[in-house]
A and B are shown apart, each in its own frame.
Chain A
Amino acid sequence: AQKITQTQPGMFVQEKEAVTLDCTYDTSDPSYGLFWYKQPSSGEMIFLIYQGSYDQQNATEGRYSLNFQKARKSANLVISASQLGDSAMYFCAMKAGKLIFGQGTELSVKP
Chain B
Amino acid sequence: EADIYQTPRYLVIGTGKKITLECSQTMGHDKMYWYQQDPGMELHLIHYSYGVNSTEKGDLSSESTVSRIRTEHFPLTLESARPSHTSQYLCASSEPGQGVYGYTFGSGTRLTVV
Contacts and interface: CB of A to CB of B under 8 A. Distances in A.
Interface of A: 31-33, 35, 37, 42-45, 47, 50, 52, 89, 91, 93, 95, 98-104, 106
B45 A50 contact: no
B103 A99 contact: yes
Contacts of A89: 40
Give the size category of B's interface with A.
Answer: 20 to 34
A37 B110 CA distance: 19
- Which one of B41, B92, B105 has the greatest number of beta carbons of chain A within 10 Å? B105
A35 B92 CA distance: 15
B59 interface: yes
Interface stretch (B64-72, B78-86, B94-102): B94-102
Contact of B90 (A32, A42, A45, A106): A45
Interface string B27-60: 0000001010000111111001000000000110
A76 B93 CA distance: 25
Nearest to A10: B40
Contacts of A44: 105-108
Interface of B: 33, 35, 40-45, 48, 58-59, 88, 90, 92, 94, 98-108, 110
B97 to A, nearest CB: 9
B59 A100 contact: yes
Contacts of B59: 98, 100
B107 A43 contact: yes
A50 B40 contact: no
A91 B40 CA distance: 11
